[in-house]
Amino acid sequence: MDRILIRGGRPLNGAIQISGSKNAALPLMAAALLTSEPLRLSNLPRLADIASMRQLLAGLGAEVAEVQPAAGEQGQVLEIQASHVASQRAPYDLVRKMRASVLVLGPLLARFGQAEVSLPGGCAIGTRPVDLHLSAMEAMGAEIAIESGYIHASAPKGLTGAEVVFPTISVGATENAMMAAALAQGESRLVNAAREPEISDLAVCLRAMGAEIEGEGSEIITIRGCGSLQGASHPVIADRIEAGTFLMAAAITDGELRLVGAQAAHLERPIAVLRQAGVTVEESDGTLLARRRNGRLRGSDVMTEAFPGFATDLQAQFMALMTTAEGASMITETIFENRFMHVPELIRMGADITIHGASALVRGERRLTGAEVMATDLRASVCLVLAGLAAEGETVINRIYHLDRGYERIEAKLAACGAEIERLTS
Ligand SMILES: CC(=O)N[C@H]1[C@@H](OP(=O)(O)OP(=O)(O)OC[C@H]2O[C@@H](n3ccc(=O)[nH]c3=O)[C@H](O)[C@@H]2O)O[C@H](CO)[C@@H](O)[C@@H]1O
Ligand SMILES: C=C(OP(=O)(O)O)C(=O)O
């Protein structure tokens, strides 16, 4: 199994191109199932999750081809055509590797009147049920049964537009409901919808495919379903979590990074928190520049929240940063019940952190020292990379397949800015 070796203590300096967003790309790829015409997606990151979604779509019978970027296009470009969908079954083997596989449920059900999707099961960061996805489908008229670990959904006469009131905010359930509603008969109103930039990106693409959608980015999304959707061409937004991670990499190493393509509007709360902690973040011409303001960082409290709040996907990285700040920080995780798996590993590197329920108290100004550590999930992995970059000596991170789910060419991007980092293959 591959590992990452980091020799820490070197400031990062340089420019990094931000890749396309994994979390925007996955629902966009699933949206290709809504039409028999080709959907062309550009600026897709080259990540394990994108490969898994590609495999899932191909397994259903869609044709997925990588094509050369046209003028103005960036990243990986895929043309997905789901004209002959032979199967409506998302198998356990793929769903267990990537929970976002459940995003094929809405499109398959809306277009073909049936879908079988393996229940995702638990996950390192929490139980992560899919009840909100299922109740949204039921509100639109689907019958749902759980048998042998699979969701069996059927709507032989098609889905009907409905008011879906989400009791709690769910990004994935909002996306599934938007895609299903786009092909349902009549109008749907999604109330207490997620407002993440990835939701807005999906709405833009669905609109280009002919869907009538309003209100994305607000708490109520209205969708008037139409009989069929057409092909479209859509560039995926930049990955705000990758950008936020590298803002923190600049700060933790006391370096200076220019992030090309990063969208400040998608990072307002994390940038405000970083500024309060003593990081200068400047925006100009589609880039973000980050460096410490006067050498020292101050402990700052953070609570994770749905967008526009502080993203849970940046919580672990912020915790690594706060281990090096002056004073104490209280970091409260409100989205996932078990997203502190990085804490024992940071402690092994010299951090002083105690967990009290959903909060972690970080006592700062620790000198981190390199150690052999274990990655447990995607953001925990990159938090250990940040800690390793700041630590004295060598850090070896095991189980980095988690990292490959969400960070494109991370060693190359960091090495180009002065990090001593290498992948050890065995
Ligand atoms: C591929 C993707 O985009 N992943 C992101 C997405 O995950 P995902 O879409 O899975 O996250 P959700 O927004 O659905 O989850 C938020 C909370 O709602 C709960 N919940 C969710 C659905 C449901 O049916 N029932 C239920 O109880 C979850 O367990 C969690 O506690 O949003 C999360 C929250 O910003 C991010 O951390 C993930 O990186
Ligand atoms: C939790 C994450 O992803 P997923 O929802 O795909 O597990 C993440 O991107 O941090």
Express each pLDDT in 175-186 by its tens digit.
Answer: 999 999 999 999
pLDDT at 122 over 90: no
CA of 27 to the centre of ligand 2 (A): 13
pLDDT at 362 over 80: yes
| CB of residue 176 inside a 6 A radius of ligand 1 | no
Judged by phi (left if over 0) then psi (alpha if -120 to 50, else beta), residue 161 lies in beta
Q: DSSP string spanning 103-165?
A: GGHHHHHHHHSEEEEE----BTTB----HHHHHHHHHTT-EEEEETTEEEEE-TT--B--EEE
pLDDT of residue 100: 96
C-beta separation of 67 from 88 below 8 A: no
pLDDT of residue 48: 95
C-beta separation of 282 from 270 below 8 A: no
| CB of residue 312 inside a 6 A radius of ligand 1 | yes
Among 122-131, 161-170, 244-253, the minimum mean pLDDT is found in: 122-131
Question: From the CB of residue 159, how many other CB atoms can be counted at a distance below 10 Å?
Answer: 26
SS3 219: coil
Q: How many residues does the chain have?
A: 426
Per-residue pLDDT band at 316 (split at 50, 70, 90) = very high
CA of 187 to the centre of ligand 2 (A): 30
**Type of residue numbered 120:** P
- Beta-strand (E) ranges in 45-87? 63-67, 76-81
Share of the chain above pLDDT 70, in %: 100
Among 95-99, 198-202, 319-323, the minimum mean pLDDT is found in: 95-99
Per-residue pLDDT band at 123 (split at 50, 70, 90) = confident
Per-residue pLDDT band at 221 (split at 50, 70, 90) = very high
Nearest ligand 2 atom to the CA of 49 is: 6
Which of 49, 171, 332 is the pocket-test mutation for ligand 1 (most atoms within 8 Å of CB)? 171
pLDDT of residue 404: 94
pLDDT of residue 220: 98
Could you tell me which residues come within 8 angstroms of residue 412 by beta carbon, excluding any fewer than 6 positions away? none
* Average pLDDT score over residue span 81-109: 96
Which of 21, 335, 381 is the pocket-test mutation for ligand 1 (most atoms within 8 Å of CB)? 335
CA of 130 to the centre of ligand 1 (A): 9
pLDDT of residue 1: 85
What Rg do the C-alpha atoms of the chain give, in angstroms? 21
* Average pLDDT score over residue span 61-79: 97
C-beta separation of 244 from 273 below 8 A: no
Q: Annotated catalytic, 226?
A: no
pLDDT of residue 61: 98
Per-residue pLDDT band at 285 (split at 50, 70, 90) = confident
CA of 237 to the centre of ligand 1 (A): 19
Q: Of residues 123, 205, 226, 383, which has the active-site annotation? A: 123
| CB of residue 171 inside a 6 A radius of ligand 1 | yes
Helix axis angle for 105-112 and 171-183, nearest 10°, is: 10
Arithmetic mean of pLDDT over the chain: 97
pLDDT at 366 over 90: no
SS3 368: coil
Distances (CA, A) of 134 to 98, 144, 184, 196: 18, 7, 15, 21
pLDDT at 365 over 90: no
Could you tell me which residues come within 8 angstroms of residue 154 by beta carbon, excluding any fewer than 6 positions away? 109, 113, 114, 142, 143
- pLDDT tens digit sequence for 369-422: 999 999 899 999 999 999 999 999 999 999 999 999 999 999 999 999 999 999
Closest Cα to atom 9 of ligand 1: 172
| CB of residue 100 inside a 6 A radius of ligand 1 | yes
Tell me phi and psi for residue 63, to 5 degrees: -95, 125
* Average pLDDT score over residue span 272-278: 98
Torsion of CA 18, 316, 104, 106, to 10 degrees: -110
